[in-house]
Amino acid sequence: MDGVCQIFEGRLKELNPTLRNITYDITDLYTFIDQLADMSALVFNPQINAYMPYDKDWLKKKAFSHLKRQAQ
């Protein structure tokens, strides 16, 4: 999830190069994810020894949990 957030934050920096501090909320991140043409995650499942695909909705839930943990 760090990677997804870093990509989004990097894009925000590109769009706002003169701002030192950039803030965003979860809906901004969700909008960014939704605007990507093809975004999914492959997560290794050791029980079946294979990678499982997950869609944008799964990514958004995981990103929310990740950011919530970081804020605590």
Written as tens digits, the pLDDT of the chain (72 aa) is 888 889 999 999 999 999 999 999 899 999 999 998 888 999 999 999 999 999 999 999 999 999 899 888
* Nearby residues of 48 by Cβ (< 8 Å), 6 or more positions away: none
User: Is the pTM above the cut of 0.85?
Assistant: no
Token couple for 45:
């499942």
